[in-house]
Amino acid sequence: MNRKSIKARLYKELSRIGRALGSPARLELLEILAQGERSVEMLARQTRLSVANTSHHLQALREARLVEARRQGVFVHYRLTSPEVFGVVQMIRRLGEEHIAEVDRIVRSYFGQRDALEPISREELLERAKAGTVVVLDVRPAEEYRAGHIAGAISVPVDRLEDRLADLPADREIIAYCRGPYCVMSYAAVEKLRARGRRARRLVDGFPEWRAQGLPTSPRGGAA
């Protein structure tokens, strides 16, 4: 085999990763799996896809060695093959925001206008949480919280926030977080809290980024 054919074969194999990533649903699945291992059924609920369609996308990701699976009884659970997979997703996000005008426009117009206050960084949240000066609020669905969350966070799904408002300390600022920078649940939670006169901000990104940095989680590592 000559040098040219070896190079062509190599690029052909590498292109499998690009093809696997060429789907909005698969990018979303990888972002969710960055939070920790999930069953096919749980992934289907989170993405609002059918179980069959979710399985199809996961199989494409598995063939590209981006995810791996294990069977537990009748259920199949998926996880990322390595932390570098989520790093690729983050890089795609950054490249899109920096070089694709429509991505930048959507982020600025939809997300930027919904947050009048600067979001809090992971480092500042960690410091303030240790000092006990903030309440860390996980506004994702309860099953996601149980699968893994920021250590010390309280679970109040965004659709139950108004019913649980009286349970939250009134003398501390509330920091809400969800699945990542494009997750609207934390924005909605902050809007509701501020409308009720509470001091509230959101984490700059979400649980996947927190977990990827090796910051404290519970259960440790955030596995399902």
Annotated catalytic residues are 178
**Are the beta carbons of 207 and 35 closer than 8 angstroms?**
yes
DSSP strand pairing (217-218 vs 149-150): antiparallel
Torsion of CA 26, 32, 36, 39, to 10 degrees: -70
Single out the residue of 166, 213, 216, 217 nearest to residue 193, CA to CA: 166
73 CB-contact burial (10 Å; exposed 0-12 / middle 13-18 / buried 19+): exposed
Ramachandran area for residue 176 (φ above 0: left; ψ -120 to 50: alpha; else beta): beta
The tally of CA atoms less than 13 A away on the side-chain side of residue 73 is 3
